[in-house]
Amino acid sequence: MEKIVEEFELYGKKYRFETGELAKQATGAVLVTQGDTTCLVTAVVSKEEKDYDFFPLTVDFMEKMYAVGRIPGGYLKREGKASDKGTLTARLIDRPIRPGFPDGFKNEVHIVATTLVVDGDNAPDCICVNGASAALLVGGAPFDGPAACVRVGRNPETGDFICNPSYDELEESDLNLTIAGTADYISMVEAGAKEISEEDMLAAMNFGQKAIAEFCAAQQRFLDKVNPQPLEYKVHQADPSIAERVDAHFDEMSAALHDADKLSRIGKVEELKASIKANDFSEEEQAAWGSDIAAACKALEKRAMRRMVIETGERADGRTAKEIRPLYIRPGYLPRVHGSGLFQRGQTQALSVCTLGTLREGQRLDTIDPAEGKRYMHQYNFPPYCTGEVGRMGAPKRREVGHGALAERALLPVLPDEDTFPYAIRVVSEVLESNGSSSMASTCGSTLALMDAGVPISAPVSGIAMGLIKEGDDVVILSDIQGLEDFLGDMDFKVTGTENGITALQMDNKARGLSTEILGRALAQAKEGRAFILEAMLKEIPAPRSELSEFAPRIETIKIPVDKICDVIGTGGKVIRGLQDETGATIEVEEDGTVHIAAVEGPAGEAAKQAILDIVKEPEVGEIFEGEIVGIKDFGAFVKLTASKDGLLHISRMANGRVGRVEDVLNLGDKVKVQVIEVGENGKISLDRLEKPDAPEGSARPRREDRGERSEHGDRPRRRPGDRGGDRGGRGGHGRDDHRKPRSRNRD
């Protein structure tokens, strides 16, 4: 194939599709570009049909550090395990692509998106969705496209929406909405927002749907140039007699589904499926049609559940469409941890635990994304026992990473900034039981944990998962869906927010013809459900605790002059390490002179704070100190005023009367009360002693051995070896008169 290019401009930004030059052995390969950000997206469709009861689609997003001109961190200096951002981007590509394949298609499909260049202005994730759609269609795959994805931001000052905003534009935006679909329907929505209204969110979706249609049109122009030839792939068709025999048990399936207890209902349904398989099919048929029989039984379960909702308005657990399951809410569930909250809705239970730490304990990021780190981390764990299953425990799966990111996005807008609350915050949600909406339970539980920890969030956040059953023109929107309604329904729509507005949402759609009008109805119904749940939460904990847990570190922030940072840190960090060892506090110094002092016990923090203030303090005229004698010279003594400052107490100001020798009045280690009488431009400090004693009798008569030999230039004592005339190596005391010009020994 010759190289084919389609360049176009939309909403003030330039884009490009290209194929025919790279990765030509893939089923389809497209180079997609926005600005200078360039990604290669390939699609390979296997030739063989697999005997699976699911569609085997795999999506990988490969973050290449060379794309941003960086060498990977760590010892290997090679890209390894996908970052959380990479995992989320792979999910972002998967979710709008998966519904575009026909039912019964069982060939393996592998999509790989590789970042080649990331320019620092344009994100690669949305264009990779567009590239995946184009790559599949270029290769002739049976994909219902074109499909496209756009990100929608909003200028908070003008209210104007921005299509595919730059990183800088997104930083200023109060909305980060990612929406995908075709020119006719929406298949995926994901958003974070700063408490915006349902009306504004719906307007953003309408804007996004219009933009998607324009990108699909541009993609179609590209495909018209390519003129791909559809490849013949077998779409599996089961023997019609299988469905006929299975559908005869519709009434039995409906009866089995009427059970509010999840495990009991699953047991009845599985028992019925096993009975159908054993009694309606011979051993030979079971061996030949195993996956088809399983698929037909699943389809029967789906039809029975959906008809129950559409025709009777009753759900499997007996609830109405808008009814919320029983709630059980307990903040402060665990002792000693910094904050905790148990949230249960029906048979979904999440325990969230909040831990506070210093800003240094925030997460460092080594990705192609411009963000270098984050102080708020939300992690979600979904162990096998929460669904009564046996499984392997290991690294978090894509679903766990995605649900954690959703809860993190939901709570981020209400967290205090670093200046107000200088802590790193980690919340871990342990899902202990699951029957749908576990990500929303973790969001509610995490709000409880944050409030229990005393984090001054601006408003509490609640969340709810909405579902949809759509049969022709009949549409029923379900509040607080359980697992059965998620798996067999048409939509999983999660919405979080405060009483002021939406903070996050995520939607996956399986139904064709899902309009923004239906989404608007779902948003309004979700608002009612969120308000009901939030009211129940606030009955248990109406506001964040006024005090942090006694086990949480207390962090105090002070500001020091930038030129004093070196004094606080010391050579090789010696000073700051010594302060931490001595006080038990943790000290962090930033480049702008901000110092964070963290300690579990108050006295340790106060001691560290005072020590730092002593180091950076500049004595002022008139101030009084009680300091230790740290140096003695013929002309006076050096008194330690602060950790980094000494002052000179001249011999004439040590006592009432004439003093011949400093040692007659003061010795090293003595404590003396002094007052600052002068601070020179060079920083040298002159002191006067308070409460002066009388000079000892006979001190004024200089002894012969202390006068030294007379020199040829006068009666001045000769300087002894090692006597540098008061120069104390930069500790702030008076030094010798370096401005004097030395006399020349050789005269002409």
Higher pLDDT, 103 or 673: 673
Which residues, other chains included, contact 581 with Cβ-Cβ below 8 Å and sequence gap of 6+? none
Task: Provide the β-strand partners of residue 671.
Answer: 628
Report angle CA 111, 58, 230 to the nearest 5 degrees: 50
pLDDT in tens, 368-392: 888 888 999 999 999 999 998 898 8
- At 733, the pLDDT band (50, 70, 90 cuts) reads very low
In order of start, what are the domains of the chain with their CATH numbers?
A: 4-226 (3.30.230.70), 240-312 (1.10.10), 327-540 (3.30.230.70), 554-616 (3.30.1370.10), 624-695 (2.40.50.140)
- At 709, the pLDDT band (50, 70, 90 cuts) reads very low
CA distances from 510 to 132, 291, 467, 504 (A): 19, 22, 11, 21
Identity of the amino acid at 430: E
Instruction: Check if the beta carbon of residue 511 is closer than 8 Å to that of residue 467.
Output: no
Q: How many residues are listed for the chain in this entry?
A: 748
CA 209/CA 206 separation, integer angstroms:
5
Which residues, other chains included, contact 210 with Cβ-Cβ below 8 Å and sequence gap of 6+? none
pLDDT in tens, 145-159: 899 999 999 998 899
CA 625/CA 635 separation, integer angstroms:
21
Structure tokens at 132: 């995946």
pLDDT at residue number 513: 64
pLDDT in tens, 112-165: 999 999 999 999 999 999 999 999 999 999 999 899 999 999 998 899 999 999
Q: Does the pTM exceed 0.85?
A: no
Give me the torsion for CA of 390, 393, 397, 400, rounded to 10°.
80
Beta strands in 144-185 (DSSP E): 148-154, 161-163, 175-181
Mean pLDDT, the chain, rounded, equals 88
Q: Is 723 annotated as a binding residue?
A: no
pLDDT in tens, 458-497: 999 999 999 999 888 788 999 999 988 888 888 889 999 9
Look at residue 703 and tell me whether its pLDDT is greater than 80.
Answer: no
pLDDT at residue number 88: 93
Q: Which of 607, 590, 616, 594 is nearest to 554 (CA)?
A: 607
CA 172/CA 167 separation, integer angstroms:
9
CA 645/CA 665 separation, integer angstroms:
22
Q: Is 748 annotated as a binding residue?
A: no
pLDDT at residue number 295: 87
Residue 70, SS3 per DSSP:
coil
Higher pLDDT, 703 or 285: 285
Structure tokens at 342: 């148990």
Which residues, other chains included, contact 232 with Cβ-Cβ below 8 Å and sequence gap of 6+? none
